[in-house]
A and B are shown apart, each in its own frame.
Chain A
Amino acid sequence: MSEALVEVKNLKKHFTLEHDFFGRPTTVLKAVDGVSFQIKKGEAFGLVGESGCGKTTIGKMLVNLYTPTDGQIVFEGTDLTKLSPAKRREFCKDIQLIFQDPYASLNPRMTIGDIIAEPIKINNLLPKDQIEKRVTYLLNCVGLANHQRNRYPHEFSGGQRQRVGIARALAVQPKLIVCDEPVSALDVSIQAQVLNLLDELKEEFGLTYLFIAHGLNVVKHISDRVGVMYLGNLVEIAPKQELYENPLHPYTQALLSAIPSVDPTKRKQRIILSGDVPSPINPPDGCRFCSRCFKKFDGCESENPVLREVSPGHFVACRLWQEK
C-alpha cells in the first residue's frame, strides 16, 4: 500500500495553437502546467476540477496519447518520458484508459467480442486458441453475456458499452487504469452500477485507479486520496476524509460548499465564486486562482504558490499556508 506505482513530477503539456512564419509558437495553451503527484499501488486517486482544467490531458499523457512538454512520469521506477516510441508502447499493457464517452470510444465496425480480443491479440498475450475463452471470462467479469459477443456496439445501451470499454481495458491485465469521468455520460440510474463494478474489479484484480471527475461528490465513494486541480495546476492533495472535513485551499472549500449536505447541522454556507475560469492561454501570473479567490491578499497576484505538505499527507498550494 505504501509503494508508489506511478509518480508524476512537474508534468507539463502546452499545446501550440498558432506559430509564426518560422514555426515558433506564438499562442500557447498551457493545459497542464507543472503537476506533481504520486499514486500508490492498490490505491484509487481521485482527480477533480472544473471543465478544461487539464484532467483529461494528464490522463492522456499517462496512456501515451499525448507526449508531455516537460516533466517526468515515473512508472515502477522507469521514466516513461525518456523511452523510445517502441519501448514506450510496451507500457500500454500496464496503463489503460476508460473513456468518458462510451458512444464514441468503441469502433462501430467491430463486434464487441473483437473489440475485447484485440488488445490480447496485438500484444501477443495468449495463444490463439485461448483468446475466445478469455473474452468470455472478461465479458462475465463486466456483467455482459457471452452470446452478445457478435453484436455491434450500436446495439448496446450506454451502460453496456461502458462495460465493453472496461473489459477492453482489463484485457491486457493492466496495473493502472485511468478512469476519465467514466460515468458522467451515463444515465443517473446506471451510474451507481458502473461505479460499483469498477469498485469490485479493483478489489478482484488488485488494480490502481486514477479516477477523474468533475465534482467532489462523484469521487467520494471510489477514491482513497483526492487531488484538486485548477487551471492546469494541482492546488490541494489530501486523503479523502481529511479533504472533505478539513479543506484548506479556498477553491476546494468552494467546491465542497457546492455539494448539498444531507445533515442539516453540517450544512455550511455556500461559497459562490465570482467570475469565470481564466483562459489557459494567458493564465494569471501569480496564483492561478487569484482572479476568483475570496481570501486573496497582498502578493497573490504576483507569486504562484507551490504545493506544500502542511500536515502528513495533506498538501496545499496557497499562500495562506506557505511558510512565513
Chain B
Amino acid sequence: MTEMNEEKAIQSQTEVLEKPESQVKEMWEALLENKAAVVGLVIIAFLVLVAIFGPLMMPYDPNASNMGQSFQWPSAEHLFGTDQLGRDIFSRIIAGARISLSVGLAAVLISLTIGVVLGSIAGYKGGWADTVIMRIMDMMLAIPSILLAIAFMAALGKGIDKAVIAIGLVSIPEYARIVRGCILSVKENDYVQAARVIGNRSGRIIFRHILPNVLSSIVVRATLGISTAVLDTAALGFLGLGVQPPQAEWGDMLGRARGFIFTAPYTLIFPGIAITITVLAFNLLGDGLRDALDPKSRKK
C-alpha cells in the first residue's frame, strides 16, 4: 500500500504520463499468473501442434487396416495398441486431433456468432423481437439436440462439414439464452444508460458497453461448448453422419469401440483420455480467462 502511494506521489511530481498498456496485454499477463489456465493453455498449445504437425509424428498410416494385426494390446510396436481393423490407435489419435479441434472450434464459432446476435437483439430490444426470437429458441430446445442435428443433416447432406454446421446450429439457443440473460442483467445498469445519454446507438452500446461486461460467462460457455461439439460430432459419426470411414476422429473411435469395452479396453480408453484431456484443457483455460477478463480481480 505504501509502495503504491509513493509510486503515485512520484508520478504526480514528475507528471509522467502512464504508459497506456493494451487491454489484451494486461489480460494475457493476468492469464499467465493463473496456474490452472497455464496448464490448460499448454495442453491446448500441444494439441494444436499435434494437429498441425501430426502427419510427421505418426508411426503408421492411421487409415491403413491390417486385419492380421487387429486387437493388439499396447506394446512398444503399437504404443496404444490396435483396433478391430488392426489400425494403430496412437496414429489415429494423432490424426483425430486435427478433426476434433477444428470441428469443435468451427461449430462453436457458428453457434456463438449467431447466438450472440440473436440473444443481444432479444435482450436489448425486448418486446416482440424478444418474444419471436426466444419462442423459436424454445422450440429448438424442446427437441433433443442430437435429433435436431440429424434433421439438419438430413436437409444438408452427409459429411463432416455438414456435421459442423448442424452442430453449430443446434447449440445456438443455448448461447442466445445466456447472452440474453446477461444483457438483461446489465442493461438497466447506470453505465449502460450513461452510454445512451451520450448519444450511442444500440449496436455500439451492446458491443462496447454490454458484451465486454458479460464476456466471461460467454467465454466460459464457449470453452465448454467446444467439448460438447466434439462429443456431438462423435454421436453423429457413430450414426454414420459425421466423419466418413476410414477417417479418424476421437468420438467416432470411442463410439465404434463401444462393443469391445471388456475384451479390448484400450480401443476405448485412449480416445476417451484424448477427449477428456481436451475438454479439461478448454475448461481450465476458460476459468483462467474469466478471471483475467475481470479487471477487479486483475489488478490487486
- A contacts, CB < 8 Å to B: 60, 63-65, 89-90, 92-93, 96-97, 99, 101, 104-109, 118-119, 122-123, 145-152, 154-155, 165, 168, 171-172
Q: Are B18 and A65 in contact (CB under 8 A)?
A: no
Minimum Cβ distance to chain B for residue A215 (Å): 22
CB-defined contacts of A149 to chain B, threshold 8 Å: 17-18
CB-defined contacts of A92 to chain B, threshold 8 Å: 197-199
Whether B263 is near chain A, meaning CB under 8 Å from some CB there, is no
Q: Are A109 and B194 in contact (CB under 8 A)?
A: no
CB-defined contacts of B198 to chain A, threshold 8 Å: 92, 96, 118-119, 122-123, 168, 171-172
Q: Are A172 and B295 in contact (CB under 8 A)?
A: no
Stretch of B8-16, B237-245, B280-288 that contacts chain A: B8-16
CB-defined contacts of B18 to chain A, threshold 8 Å: 147-151
Minimum Cβ distance to chain A for residue B215 (Å): 9
Q: Are A172 and B193 in contact (CB under 8 A)?
A: no
CB-defined contacts of B2 to chain A, threshold 8 Å: none
Q: Are B194 and A97 in contact (CB under 8 A)?
A: yes
CB-defined contacts of A122 to chain B, threshold 8 Å: 198-200, 204
CB-defined contacts of B258 to chain A, threshold 8 Å: none
CB-defined contacts of B299 to chain A, threshold 8 Å: 152, 155
From A136, which residue of chain B is reached at the shortest CB distance?
B17
In Å, the complex CA distance between A64 and B193 comes to 10
Bitwise interface map of B from 288 to 300 toward A, beta carbon under 8 Å scored 1, else 0? 0000000110010
- B contacts, CB < 8 Å to A: 11-12, 15-21, 189-191, 193-201, 204, 209, 212-213, 295-296, 299
CB-defined contacts of A106 to chain B, threshold 8 Å: 191, 194
Task: Choose one: A89, A105, A150; the contact of B194 (CB below 8 Å).
Answer: A105
- Supply 13 A–B pairs (Cβ within 8 Å), ascending by A: A65-B193, A96-B197, A97-B194, A105-B190, A105-B193, A107-B209, A108-B213, A118-B198, A119-B198, A122-B198, A122-B200, A145-B12, A172-B199
Q: Are A147 and B197 in contact (CB under 8 A)?
A: no
Given A105-B190, A108-B295, also A89-B199 (CB < 8 A): yes
In Å, the complex CA distance between A102 and B200 comes to 20
In Å, the complex CA distance between A97 and B196 comes to 10
Minimum Cβ distance to chain A for residue B27 (Å): 11
Task: State the 10 A-B residue pairs at the shortest beta-carbon distance, nearest first.
Answer: A92-B199, A119-B198, A105-B190, A104-B190, A107-B191, A109-B212, A63-B197, A97-B197, A150-B18, A99-B190
Q: Are B194 and A168 in contact (CB under 8 A)?
A: yes
In Å, the complex CA distance between A60 and B192 comes to 13
Q: Are B190 and A109 in contact (CB under 8 A)?
A: no
Minimum Cβ distance to chain A for residue B204 (Å): 7
Q: Are A109 and B20 in contact (CB under 8 A)?
A: no
Known: A118-B195, A145-B12. 12 other contacts (CB 8 A): A89-B201, A96-B198, A99-B190, A99-B193, A104-B189, A105-B190, A108-B191, A108-B213, A122-B199, A145-B15, A147-B15, A147-B18
Given A108-B213, A147-B16, also A123-B193 (CB < 8 A): no
CB-defined contacts of B12 to chain A, threshold 8 Å: 145, 147
In Å, the complex CA distance between A119 and B199 comes to 7
Task: Choose one: B21, B196, B295; the contact of A64 (CB below 8 Å).
Answer: B196
CB-defined contacts of B193 to chain A, threshold 8 Å: 60, 65, 99, 105
Given A109-B212, A109-B295, A147-B12, also A104-B199 (CB < 8 A): no
Task: Choose one: B20, B190, B213, B295; the contact of A152 (CB below 8 Å).
Answer: B295
Q: Are B197 and A154 in contact (CB under 8 A)?
A: no
Which of B18, B193, B198 counts the most chain A CB atoms within 10 A? B198
From A148, which residue of chain B is reached at the shortest CB distance?
B18
In Å, the complex CA distance between A172 and B199 comes to 10
From B210, which residue of chain A is reached at the shortest CB distance?
A107
Q: Are A108 and B197 in contact (CB under 8 A)?
A: no
Given A105-B191, A122-B204, also A146-B15 (CB < 8 A): yes
In Å, the complex CA distance between A120 and B94 comes to 53
Q: Are B295 and A107 in contact (CB under 8 A)?
A: no
From A63, which residue of chain B is reached at the shortest CB distance?
B197
CB-defined contacts of B195 to chain A, threshold 8 Å: 107, 118
CB-defined contacts of A93 to chain B, threshold 8 Å: 199
From B215, which residue of chain A is reached at the shortest CB distance?
A109
CB-defined contacts of A63 to chain B, threshold 8 Å: 197
CB-defined contacts of B204 to chain A, threshold 8 Å: 122
Minimum Cβ distance to chain B for residue A114 (Å): 10
Given A92-B199, A172-B198, also A101-B190 (CB < 8 A): yes
In Å, the complex CA distance between A146 and B16 comes to 9
CB-defined contacts of B15 to chain A, threshold 8 Å: 145-147
Minimum Cβ distance to chain B for residue A86 (Å): 9
CB-defined contacts of B190 to chain A, threshold 8 Å: 99, 101, 104-105
In Å, the complex CA distance between A11 and B198 comes to 23
Minimum Cβ distance to chain B for residue A158 (Å): 13
CB-defined contacts of A168 to chain B, threshold 8 Å: 194, 198
Q: Are B194 and A99 in contact (CB under 8 A)?
A: yes
Minimum Cβ distance to chain A for residue B183 (Å): 15
CB-defined contacts of B201 to chain A, threshold 8 Å: 89
Q: Are B296 and A147 in contact (CB under 8 A)?
A: no
CB-defined contacts of B212 to chain A, threshold 8 Å: 107, 109
From B4, which residue of chain A is reached at the shortest CB distance?
A155
Given A104-B190, A105-B191, also A65-B199 (CB < 8 A): no
In Å, the complex CA distance between A93 and B296 comes to 32
From A104, which residue of chain B is reached at the shortest CB distance?
B190
From B212, which residue of chain A is reached at the shortest CB distance?
A109
